[in-house]
Amino acid sequence: MKDKVVLAYSGGLDTSAAIKWIAEKYSMDVIALSIDLGAEKEYEAIKQKALKVGAVKALIVDAREMFINDYVFPALQADVIYEGQYTLATALARPLIAKLQVEVALREGATAVAHGCTGKGNDQVRFDVSVAALAPQLKVIAPAREWGMTREETIEYARRNGIPVPVTVASPYSIDENLWGKSIECGILEDPWAEPPEEIYTWTRAAKDTPDEPAYVEISFERGVPGGLDGKKMSGRELVEKLNLLAGLHGVGRVDHVENRLVGIKSREIYESPAATVLLSAHLALEQLTLSKDQLRFKQRVALEYADLIYNGLWFSGLRQDLAAYVAHTQRHVNGVVRVKLLKGRSTVVGRKSPESLYSYKLATYDKEDQFDQSAAVGFIQIFGLPVRTQAQAQGMEEDQ
Ligand code: ARG
């Protein structure tokens, strides 16, 4: 009996070639596992393709709810954004794919898992590290890292082996999509000076083609988790799907980022992440209303570290789990509604309310309702003396010493 390997199968050229290549090179039975994270693909056709190319078994797992609830929303609660721009759609999906792969591998008695990543990106590391954390006994096979074929050679290899080469292969772009966003790289985008051609955008309209009238959405949060749109309760997945469409229609969520990969390369990536963009700013706005200054400031520091952990593939690390527990605790007061305006490529928070708001009108107002004792402010001057000393006074003090 041959050893078995579970391949994360996208249905694309590389992972299709990988089915054949692993079967030949390693003489293993390949089980193709396709995971639905919200990319609009024909999963049944993908399954058939895997079998046709030579997989002994092909499985599809719908992990959309799991992805949103167990990966995306914890990241949203943490306010993570990598290097100030990237909402981490691809990076958040990798540990979940690895986890499901490991589960199938253990159930099927496989000795290895495989992925289609090259040796230059972050994704290979995310897969390898996640598998090592969850089931170190499993071997990881990475055909595209091992076979040393160029894209042309891969196409040639596919043709020789009767693997259908889809017309989309002619597209110069490498694309990864899930509910939290779309990542696009390669082709002309490899020149960081070149403006992204309009054709790459499929989730968002160009600002000039968006409606002239703004759309408003009210997002309700419970413990930092969005659970309603315009007063209507809905599942996280549904909410994200709806927001992707609506905010995309208004051109919200285009990101052009030259980022630092963990393997030491700078790469230029374009992202479309309408729902993520809206939800991250709405969530932060609600925290600004409901958390104390110190809670918020500390949380922002944690977010930087947390984003790096996710980007670097350390989702299953002890530190990431510890930070998740901290973040979850901070969310106990993050309840309320945020009002967002979508217009011409921008999403702007225009209102927020919460039963646990720390905002006090009576303290903030300049009107006659003002209850802030302004004479108390003199106390601040005693505590923070230096900023109000004149330069002359400050110099005089130095001379005294
Ligand atoms: N740069 C992003 C990351 O490392 C996305 C990687 C995948 N991008 C792609 N176009 N296939 O998370």
User: φ, ψ for residue 114 (rounded to 5)?
Assistant: -140, 150
Q: Is the pLDDT of residue 336 over 60?
A: yes
* Spatial separation of the C-alpha atoms in residues 363 and 163, rounded to whole Å: 70
**What pLDDT score was predicted for residue 393?**
64
**What pLDDT score was predicted for residue 391?**
64
* Spatial separation of the C-alpha atoms in residues 318 and 105, rounded to whole Å: 23
14 in contact with ligand 1, CB cutoff 6 A: no
Q: Are 61 and 36 spatial neighbours (Cβ–Cβ below 8 Å)? A: yes
Q: Which CATH number fits domain 176-353: 3.30.420.40, 3.20.20.70, 3.90.1260.10, 3.40.50.300?
A: 3.90.1260.10
128 pLDDT band, cuts 50/70/90, is: very high
122 in contact with ligand 1, CB cutoff 6 A: yes
**What pLDDT score was predicted for residue 171?**
83
- Closest Cα partner for 299 from 324, 319, 317, 275? 324
**What pLDDT score was predicted for residue 172?**
87
| Ligand 1 pocket test target in 10, 81, 88, 90 with most atoms within 8 Å of CB | 90
How many CB atoms are closer than 10 A to CB 52? Answer: 14
Q: Is the pLDDT of residue 398 over 90?
A: no
**pLDDT tens, residue by residue, 189-234:** 999 999 999 999 999 999 999 999 999 999 999 999 999 999 999 9
183 in contact with ligand 1, CB cutoff 6 A: yes
**pLDDT tens, residue by residue, 62-86:** 999 999 999 999 999 999 999 999 9
User: φ, ψ for residue 141 (rounded to 5)?
Assistant: -105, 130
Is the domain spanning 4-78+87-172 CATH 3.40.50.620? The answer is yes
Handedness of CA 216, 220, 223, 226 (dihedral sign): negative
- Cα 155 to middle of ligand 1, angstroms: 22
164 pLDDT band, cuts 50/70/90, is: confident
Q: What is the mean pLDDT of residues 317-335?
A: 98
99 pLDDT band, cuts 50/70/90, is: very high
Residues recorded for the chain: 401
Q: Are 87 and 273 spatial neighbours (Cβ–Cβ below 8 Å)? A: yes
Q: What is the mean pLDDT of residues 312-328?
A: 98
How many CB atoms are closer than 10 A to CB 43? Answer: 16
**What pLDDT score was predicted for residue 395?**
74
Q: What's the whole-number average pLDDT of the chain?
A: 94
36 pLDDT band, cuts 50/70/90, is: very high
Q: What is the DSSP letter of 78?
A: T
175 in contact with ligand 1, CB cutoff 6 A: yes
- Cα 38 to middle of ligand 1, angstroms: 16
Locate the domains of the chain by residue range.
4-78+87-172, 176-353
- Helix (H) / strand (E) element for 336: namely strand 336-343
Nearest CA to ligand 1 atom 4: 122
Higher-confidence residue: 379 or 195? 195
> Which is the closest atom of ligand 1 to the Cα of 122?
4
Q: What is the DSSP letter of 86?
A: B
Q: What is the DSSP letter of 110?
A: -
- Cα 144 to middle of ligand 1, angstroms: 16
Nearest CA to ligand 1 atom 1: 269
- Closest Cα partner for 5 from 13, 20, 260, 370? 20
- Cα 37 to middle of ligand 1, angstroms: 15
